[in-house]
Chain A
Amino acid sequence: MTITPKAPRKLTMKQRYSALTRDLEWDPSYVSDEEMFPLTSFEGITIHDWSKWEDPFRLTVDAYTKYQAEKDKRLYAVLDGFAQSQGHLSLTDASYLNAMKLFLQGVSPLEYQAHRNFAMLARHLNGPGPRFASLCQSLDEIRHAQTEIHTLSNYNKYYAGFHSYLHMHDRVWYLSVPKSFFDDALSAGPFEFLIAIGFSFEYLLTNLLFVPFMSGASFNGDLPTMTFGFSAQSDESRHMTLGLEAIKFLLEQDEKNVPLVQHWINKWFWRGYRVTALVAQMLDYMLPRKVMSWKEAFELYFEQQMLGGLFQDLAYYGITPPLHVDKAMQEKEYLSHQAYWILYQFSHAAAFTTSVPSDEHMDWLTEQYPDTFPIYRTLWEKEKKNIAAGGRHFIRGLPQLCQVCQIPMGFTEADEPFIQAQRESIFEGERYNFCSDGCQYIFDHEPVKYRQAWLPVHQIYQGNCGAADLPGVLDWYHMKPGDGGEYLGSLDNQNWKKWHDMADETGGN
């Protein structure tokens, strides 16, 4: 096939980027640089030349808007088709949506927070390159928040647990895990934020967070989620690049930046990794049709790509893999089992449901985790006996939370599956508890910050959560009957059966 020769372009991509993005910069004449950019000096980072910042995407406003509009057009075509054809009935099972409830309650509000902070960076970074990249990312993030909410609102018409995600995000115990993570980054300086979110979250961990959700959606008949996910992920490659350029830029600008950056990598790897405990249990337990195990995802996306690839590049600057990465590698064998076991026992106070894995599901888990799952299987077999005797297990008390990651303290020592890991530090006469060495390390560097943590359990005991009893707190959370508890027999489960029986009787539709 022949293609008609292109009319010569007036400017190449490089020239356009330089003219439309970089050349719009000017030097202030009636205020000093410090007055114009007051936020980029207090963290101790030294920058000599902002023009050295690279942006390989060479984006300009016209190219950005053109392709973003096309992405939205493709997404909305899928959303309409799915809604018009009652696509929700072709999901593998209503229980699949527990993963999406967790996503809407836990992750979508973070996109909005990212939008806000990148808008601030778009104003406050000194160089035009990173300012423009931040502006694009800020717009991307609000697009993600909006398309996710729009996509999942279709399920809100038919299923429990989707209705009050924003309200819940600010109040509910398990949602304080992602919320506190992001608040932690928002309350740091601009450079730490770039390493926390731009680098650690968007580059190191993004594939672990998003790709499993999206491939899981694809495998479980959830076309709209897969589409918004991949549409959002296509922006992610720019975000990864921003994070990677940020770290290389800081390291190249001044040697004095290296120890600061190393500490932020140590801190934010662990902080972000703890949030992925929610993803781990989602992959291994919440998807009716499995994509890959957490262990496999961790090996593929983290060990091979990041440790095997990226960190060899960063070694050139004297950067080493994050502290405590060895603990994360040990934990891959049991993280999901322990995280789901916690959620299972507390789901009466959650806006998603849980259930004992089926025998087939447990066989799959045994295949994936031959060394560790047999131990957890004995717990589930015991729980099946409880249920047969009429006593499905819910914990009625309130758990102790880790002061840093805010996950209930249910993780164990690596080689002792029944010994709970507990670390403690004393600061100004008060004792603080942690789930891991990683969380303790973070606290010990900034105790004044972390002692202010809004811990949901403490807040309940202090009387700040509407009531002193469970129904009162659930009411304050805006949880409704049917939102949480056991999946079998739940509102979603009953409706699902009813709709599918109906479809059988009428021959479909």
Chain B
Amino acid sequence: MITKINTKIKVALVVGLVFITIIIIFGVAIYFFQNKFSFEDFYKRLETRASISAKYNLEPDTLNAGSLKALRNHHLEKLEEEKEYLIEVLPGADVSQMSKKYGLPEDFLNDLLSVGRSRAKSGNTFFAGIKQVYDNRTYLVIVSAENYYASHHLMFLRNILIISVALVILIVVSLSVYFSRHIFDPIKQITDKVKQISTENLHLRLDKNNNNNEISELINTFNDLLSRIETALETQKNFISNASHELGTPLTSIIGEADVSLLKERSINEYQDSLKNILQQADRLDQITKSLLFLAQTGYKGKADFVETLRIDEIIWETKQIIDKLNPANKIFVDLSLLPEDPKKLKVKGNRQLLQLAFANVLSNACKYSNNKPVSVYIASSHALVFLTIKDQGIGIPETELGYIYDPFFRASNTKLFEGYGIGLPLARNVINLHRGELLVTSVLNEGTTVQIKLPLIFFS
């Protein structure tokens, strides 16, 4: 809870601060540059006036002077508190006396005398002046005025900026607080809903929201995860019931057989018969537990480290020999029409026993479920993979059950007539997965099953 509140505040702070900073920088910059520009502009206006007035004051007799004066009076706006000074600088004049006499700043006059032109500001009054030499006499022409624009317009601008910045800050702060509160609402909803889901009601799913955003992606991910967990749990439940059933059947037979034979005294032959039956069932039990153990062992990933280099066609032939011994009636044909010419393209890294076990399981299944109809084995290899395809003409697998065939102890609904306990295929698949391969089953009911195995070739793995 604390971390979540922190995230909210963090979001609000970051968004708010960023916006406020930008707004303040914006406002200050506008005011600063406008201020600077207006001063510069005003000084220029004063200087223009000074130079015009120098023209008509110092050269009063020319034709130009008259027209300039008329121009000035008619067309140049009278500035606030505008004053014109024409000062003749006598040699040896005292600057401080001059400044007192005309009410001009002393530094300004000093500057004007030494440089030739100068600007100054005292309070709201601005001064601009130029030094002119006429008839060997030095004059200072000075114009002073109050900057109405600076004092009024700029003030107005400043007030507007301050008020609008304050308003924007207010809006930004409230918006960022609002959004930071509500942006996490969907996540909170998800959290609440997920909290309701436990092992008892795994079928529950999060409500889909239709916006195609990150939240709906998160919801979908959660739902997928829940589906996987549900399937895994289901499989586990099935496994336990199937396993206890498979283990229980021979045990029940053993107990029943022993019970019946102990009911009364029997002949030696009868005892031998029942002991034989018990032995048979015990053998079966032994086989199941052994293959279960194998399944568990091959189920661990990453443990296996294969160093042996094997030729896949060799393993197929060896497996065929094993099956020939167990089931002499089999009709397994190995098709070599697509066998690569280069034997290097048949070499894989792996464990001979495990691969033989896997192939033997697949091949004997193919023979078993097709009642020893022909089974074809094709070997082919691309540049990186070797492909094995095992095709039978057996009973096939119902389409709806194809998804479960890799579950231990699962047996398809049409296999009641065949003996088996549903460990072979998962075991084969585990072995192929261990070799970083892939095992794929496709099937058409009553037409046959095709098992396709891909294994990586040695110089690519």
Question: Do A and B come together as binding partners?
Answer: no
Give me the interface of A with B, judged by CB distance under 8 Å. Answer: none
